[in-house]
Amino acid sequence: MTTAERQRNAAELIRPQLPAELIEKRAGCPFDPAAGLTELSGQGRIHRIEHNGDTVWLVTGHDEARAVLAAPQMSSDRINSPRARALISPELHAEMFPPERQAGSFIFMDAPRHTRFRRLLTGQFTVRRMRDLTPRIHEIVTEALDAMIAKGAPADLVHDFALPVPSLVICELLGVDYGDRDEFQQRTAKLLSLHTTVDEQIKNNLAMRRFMQKLVRAKQENPGNDLLSGLVRDTDLNEDELVGIANLLLIAGHETTANMLALGTFALLEHPDQWARLHDDPELIDNAVEELLRYLSIISSGVSRHAKEDVEIGGVTIRAGETVVVSVPAVNRDDSQYDDPHELRVDRPRGHHVAFGHGIHQCLGQQLARVEMAVGFTELLRRLPTLKLAVPADEVPLRTDMSIYGVHSLPVTW
């Protein structure tokens, strides 16, 4: 296998290949799905896509998506899927996914293995615990805004607000030293980049494991009151499992919320009537958070599953071993579920979006993310009601090169 083939095939495990018209944003439309995806959604709800010799079932309907994500016949183990085994050699598979790296990676596990980890973690992410964290989140948001305002306009909302807020929250929750943020943020960015080479991915994974292994051992010697210490003290998880879980929570806990805060602010600024509506009626904040989650759908490349056995979804038979991709942006704009789905409306009644997934793999940290967004947007609107972009909208750099969509920076003034 050539170096180019090695890179291409390994990258396919991160994002299954689809035609450009189904994934590329249109110029001037940073918040909308690709034009081809919107057109395809109007032609049906589940589609057989063949591209460059690869075949994928693409789901764009809401009910069909929930059926796929809830079906026990569907596996989330893309690391050991038939597709993964076909794409990369056994030698490369062993190099990329050694047993110690797979340990604790419960998002890529099926029941009953997944059940064990999910049960241990569910009690750590209760609604009550997230409510108890709310005062501290208010403090973190206030401190970030104080610093940004004191420094003066213009500012980069990503660097000064959207990234540090969830990073500090997840550091405090896990018991990670916030002084280490530059290291894990840079390595996370490399891991999420669609252009990082296989060798760079392996190198960054090893570095992240060493970083977290050191922390786990410190918690074993001197546990505190944080979530990671609780897992060390109160569970039978081994070191590799603790490292894997902690890395997943650290990466997911700051990247997704950071991008929602930045991209959500961008969307509100580009819809000044909705910014004004939310400013005038802060009671709408919970609805606005759900609407932004639905409207923006930052898991833009979709959620992958493969069939462990033949299964019928939406009148279509998916054969054992075939890959299914749930297109989150398309599903969250299904016109059978939402009136005017392509419109951003902060007063829209809550719906059943799939921004956090569905079924046994629904995001564990969704309540934490909701609290961070609610507090973050509320305080931005209250403290900086005259906030506006400092550059034309088409000059805002979009994260089309990353597996989690958003903006690389958001220059603002007030």
61-86 tens-digit pLDDT:
999 999 999 999 999 998 888 878 77
pLDDT at 195: 82
pLDDT at 293: 98
Which residues are bridge partners to 323 per DSSP? 306
| Average pLDDT value for residue range 202-214 | 92
End-to-end CA distance of the chain: 54
Quick one: CA dihedral 24, 17, 300, 36, positive or negative?
positive
Question: Which stretches within 193-284 are classed as H helix?
Answer: 198-221, 227-234, 239-269, 272-280
pLDDT at 124: 78
Quote the percentage of the chain above a pLDDT of 70. 96
pLDDT at 34: 93
Helix 181-192, helix 198-221: angle, nearest 10? 140
d(CA 113, CA 119) in angstroms, rounded, equals: 11
- Let me know the angle formed at the C-alpha of 396 by 395 and 398, rounded to the nearest 5 degrees: 120
Q: Could you report the per-residue pLDDT of 240-271, keeping only the tens digit for each?
A: 999 999 999 999 889 999 999 999 999 999 99
Which long-range contacts link 77-85 to residues 24+ away (Cβ below 8 Å)? 77/108, 77/109, 77/110, 77/306, 78/13, 78/108, 78/304, 78/306, 79/13, 79/105, 79/108, 81/306, 81/321, 81/323, 82/306, 82/321, 83/13, 83/16, 83/306, 83/321, 83/323, 84/13
Helix 239-269, helix 113-122: angle, nearest 10? 70
Lowest mean pLDDT among 30-44, 185-199, 374-388: 185-199
Tell which phi-psi region holds residue 410, choosing left (phi > 0), alpha (psi between -120 and 50) or beta.
beta
Q: φ, ψ for residue 55 (rounded to 5)?
A: -125, 130
Q: Is the pLDDT of residue 282 over 80?
A: yes
Q: Could you report the per-residue pLDDT of 106-119, keeping only the tens digit for each?
A: 999 999 999 999 99
- Per DSSP bridges, beta strands 323-326 and 303-307 are antiparallel
| Average pLDDT value for residue range 289-313 | 95
Q: How many CB atoms lie within 10 A of CB 248?
A: 19
d(CA 31, CA 38) in angstroms, rounded, equals: 13
**Tokens found for residue 283:** 């009671």
| Average pLDDT value for residue range 194-214 | 89
Q: Could you report the per-residue pLDDT of 114-137, keeping only the tens digit for each?
A: 999 999 998 778 777 778 889 999
Quick one: CA dihedral 268, 273, 279, 285, positive or negative?
negative
Lowest mean pLDDT among 10-24, 222-236, 313-327: 10-24
pLDDT at 13: 60
Mean pLDDT of the chain: 92
d(CA 173, CA 160) in angstroms, rounded, equals: 21
Q: pLDDT class for 355, splitting at 50, 70, 90? A: very high
363: nearest Cα among 404, 307, 321, 407: 404
Q: pLDDT class for 11, splitting at 50, 70, 90? A: low
- Against a cut of 0.85, is the pTM above it? yes
Q: pLDDT class for 165, splitting at 50, 70, 90? A: very high
Q: φ, ψ for residue 388 (rounded to 5)?
A: -155, 165
**Tokens found for residue 91:** 């030698």
**Tokens found for residue 11:** 């990258």
pLDDT at 88: 78
pLDDT at 198: 82
**Tokens found for residue 313:** 């979804």
**Tokens found for residue 272:** 């000044």
Q: Is the pLDDT of residue 8 over 70?
A: no
pLDDT at 7: 56
Residue ranges and CATH numbers for the domains of the chain are 3-413 (1.10.630.10)
pLDDT at 347: 97
Angstrom distances, CA of residue 117 to CA of 103, 229, 244: 10, 16, 11
| Average pLDDT value for residue range 227-234 | 92
**Tokens found for residue 63:** 């009910």
Q: How many residues does the chain have?
A: 414
**Tokens found for residue 260:** 């929602």
pLDDT at 3: 61
Helix 227-234, helix 239-269: angle, nearest 10? 160
pLDDT at 2: 63
d(CA 278, CA 267) in angstroms, rounded, equals: 13
Q: pLDDT class for 5, splitting at 50, 70, 90? A: low
